Amino acid sequence: MPKIQVPRSSPQLDMTPMVDLAFLLVTFFMLTATMRAPEPVLVDTPSSISEMILPKNHLLITIDTSGRVFLNMENKEIRMNMLKAMNNKFPKAKFTDEQIQKFGAMQSFGVPLDSLGAYIAASPEQRKFTDQRTGGIPVDTANVGNDQLYHWVQFAREQAEVWKKSNPKLDQEPLRIALKADGKTQYKKIDMVVGIFKKQGVHSFNLITDLESDPNNPTENALGK
């Protein structure tokens, strides 16, 4: 009696669930990702292989090759409270609630306080134009009362402490101050900003550096302290 031959067929894998999962992941990342606004000035930072990483709660001060100073505070609420404090310190500024709200959603800026209102109201293209021509945030080491950068840093530290106490469940790290300077920036410009830190008793801050491979460990790249 002849043997019954069972027809053979190649195994098949249904890819439909995997395709669905891929599209779900793409959709998730598209909906949850936030676009990072471009920095107003590009700087070529020195290289480093340090492993120090900045926390999310940080104040970034950028200095370009000509010594212009730009500032950015990541936390929106602290950023808004900083401007309110500057409004009280310099009453002539007279920022409205709408301007304060818009300022909270901005990124780095480098204009004097009397020009900040127009900068907030400007379009992104107009801001780019201003960023190229601004003289940066005024720094007056001879007169603290007129030193706008001094007060921005001061109010950032004060408001960060207030915010941390009012949000104890978030368990945020203390505010870190980060300095990002171009490798060709004159030392006296950097020293001038560091001098402001010293006046406020800030002796620990981060220096932002470029990523460089460690010759002993090529995968070790990070921010320098």
- pLDDT tens digits along 133-174: 999 999 988 887 789 999 999 999 999 999 988 888 776 778
Q: Which residue has the higher pLDDT, 2 or 64?
A: 64
Six-digit token pair at 10?
């190649």
Q: What is the DSSP string of 86-131?
A: HHHHSTTS---HHHHHHHHT---B---HHHHHHHHHS-HHHHHHHH
pTM for the predicted model, two decimal places: 0.75
Residue 37 to residue 209: CA distance in whole angstroms: 20
pLDDT at 15: 72
DSSP code of 41?
S
Report the chain's C-alpha Rg in angstroms: 25
Residue 202 to residue 208: CA distance in whole angstroms: 17
Q: DSSP strand E in the chain: where?
A: 47-48, 58-63, 69-73, 176-181, 206-207, 210-211
To the nearest whole percent, how much of the chain has pLDDT over 70?
78
DSSP code of 173?
P
Q: What would the pLDDT profile of 87-119 be if each residue is shown by its tens digit?
A: 999 888 889 999 999 999 998 999 999 999 999
